[in-house]
Structure 1
Amino acid sequence: MNDFLRKIQLVKDIKIQLPVSKIDFIQKFRNNVDESDLSFVPFEVFQSSRNEYKGNITNHVFHLRKRRKLFDTNYSFAKVTGEFTEDHNQLNINAEINGFRNRMFFFLGIAILFYSIFIFATIFSSADNAVPFFLVPFLLFHMSVMLGIPYFVIRRSVKRMIYDLERDLHYWVTKN
């Protein structure tokens, strides 16, 4: 499943090198990321903080995601899981950005079940009730739009997270 998600670009791997020691990076991470276990918080948009990210860090691994904001149109679905190692005062970060959540299986299952029942019901309806010619192509078009929009939103979220993460990590390291 993970290979399929990589092919359709809902999961991506990135590598970042930063000119900072591991201890300094951990300190800067803790200053710029609010401590959280990344679980679902119902009214997160109403919590205030200066930091744009929520997450946690250990000695070699970090997890983070963007904080949700009120009236934010960036749709921050992507979650970052990264490992870092230090090599001669150079920090090497290998991160995986995952935009697909397991709760999407529920949405996809319900949508595919709904559309398949509706399409089969229109095709195999009784001969007395003539089915309009345009109904099945319209349903297929509607299904592709309703399943395509979340795909493109999540894919854009992953691309946006790559850009924001690289930019913000370099900013954290270079600012005083």
Structure 2
Amino acid sequence: MSDFLRKIQLIKDITIQLPISKKDFTEKFRNNVDESDFSFVPFEVFQSSRNEYKGNIDGSAFELKKRRRLFDTNYSFAKVTGSLIERNDKLIIDAEILGFRKIMILFFGFTIFFYLIAFTGMMFGNNNIPFFALTFLLIHMSLVLGIPYFVIRRSVNRMAYDLERDFHYWATKN
């Protein structure tokens, strides 16, 4: 499943090289990322913090995701897990950006099941069903399944861009 999600760009692997030591980066990570265990927080948008990310770091591994903000239209579904490797006075960050969550299998499963029942009912049911009903159902299905896909894919690509930009900023900032 992971290979399929990579193929359709809902998982993305990135590698970032920074001119900073692992110790300094860990310190900057802790200053710029709020400590969190990613549990459900009901009113997260009303919590105030200057930091844009929440997550944790321990040793040479980290997890983070964007903090939800009030009136934020950048849907941030992506979660990042990564590892830190220090080599030749450079820090190499290997990160995996995951936009697809397990709960979405339930959504897509129910949606496909609903449309399967609708198409089966049209095929084996009454023969007086107009052609535009089938066309409408196909267009509706493509929108209901396509819009979440493109939103998640954009979230993954946006997270890759923001992560690389912010990590370089943290490394060069005093």
Give the equivalent residue in structure 1 for 2:116. Answer: 116
Q: Secondary structure at the match of 1:134?
A: helix
The one-character-per-residue Cα deviations of 1:105-131 (angstroms, maximum 9, x if unpaired) are 11101111111111111221134xx11
Unaligned runs of 5+ in 1: none
Give the equivalent residue in structure 2 for 1:34. Answer: 34
- Distance in 2 (alpha carbons) for counterparts of 1:50 and 1:137: 49
Q: Secondary structure at the match of 2:50?
A: coil
Give how far 1:40 is off. 2.2
AA aligned to 2:145 is: L
Count of residues paired in the alignment = 174
The one-character-per-residue Cα deviations of 1:8-56 (angstroms, maximum 9, x if unpaired) are 0000100000011111010000000000011222211111100000000
Aligned positions of 1:84-163 closer than 5 A? 84-127=84-127, 130-163=128-161
Identity of aligned residues (%): 68
- Distance in 1 (alpha carbons) for counterparts of 2:40 and 2:6: 24
Unaligned runs of 5+ in 2: none
Aligned CA RMSD, in angstroms, stands at 0.9
Give the equivalent residue in structure 1 for 2:165. Answer: 167
- Distance in 1 (alpha carbons) for counterparts of 2:120 and 2:41: 39
- TM-score where L is the length of structure 1: 0.96
Deviates more, 1:130-139 or 1:25-34: 130-139
- TM-score where L is the length of structure 2: 0.97
- Alignment of 1:44 onto 2:40: no
Give the equivalent residue in structure 1 for 2:20. Answer: 20
**Structure 1 stretches of 4+ moved >3 Å:** none
- Distance in 2 (alpha carbons) for counterparts of 1:84 and 1:57: 10
Q: Secondary structure at the match of 2:45?
A: helix
Give the equivalent residue in structure 1 for 2:79. Answer: 79
Q: Secondary structure at the match of 2:131?
A: coil
- Distance in 2 (alpha carbons) for counterparts of 1:141 and 1:62: 41
- Distance in 1 (alpha carbons) for counterparts of 2:108 and 2:42: 22
Give how far 1:137 is off. 1.9
